[in-house]
Amino acid sequence: MQLDQNTLTVSAENGAIASKLRQMTTELVSKLHVIGSEVTLIQVVVQVSTPPYMPPTEKRTISLSGKTRLAEFAESLNDSPLKDALNRLAKRHDPN
């Protein structure tokens, strides 16, 4: 927040919040006048903060016996999206 020459500048974390604040500026200026403030304009800006640190995820693997069981189970199913997904999963993961 910053006050400069009767203009109050407010930072919002995202566009949705900024939009809501912009809708409320006339009402907020009126309420500030009631309490004795000389603010005549409220300016709303979007200031995105730095996203929190996300540590790298661990690579997940499936053991050879797990891959075999997935493939065997997939073969027992009728043709379906589940069967296709299980086959892709069994082929993609390498237990290195």
Examine the domain organization and report whether 69 and 41 are in the same domain.
no
Residue 93: domain span: 60-96
**pLDDT attached to residue 27:** 92
Position 54 in a domain: no
Q: What is the pLDDT of residue 22?
A: 93
Question: What distance in Å separates the CA atoms of residue 58 and residue 80, rounded to the nearest whole number?
Answer: 30
Count the domains in the chain: 2
Assess whether 64 and 30 both reside in one domain. Answer: no
Name residues of the chain where pLDDT drops below 50: none
Same domain as 35, residue 65: no
Structural domain contains residue 70: yes
Give me the pLDDT at residue 94, please: 56
53 lies in a domain?
no
Take residue 71 and report the two structure tokens written for it.
């493939």
Same domain, 68 and 34: no
Q: What single-letter amino acid sits at 34?
A: V
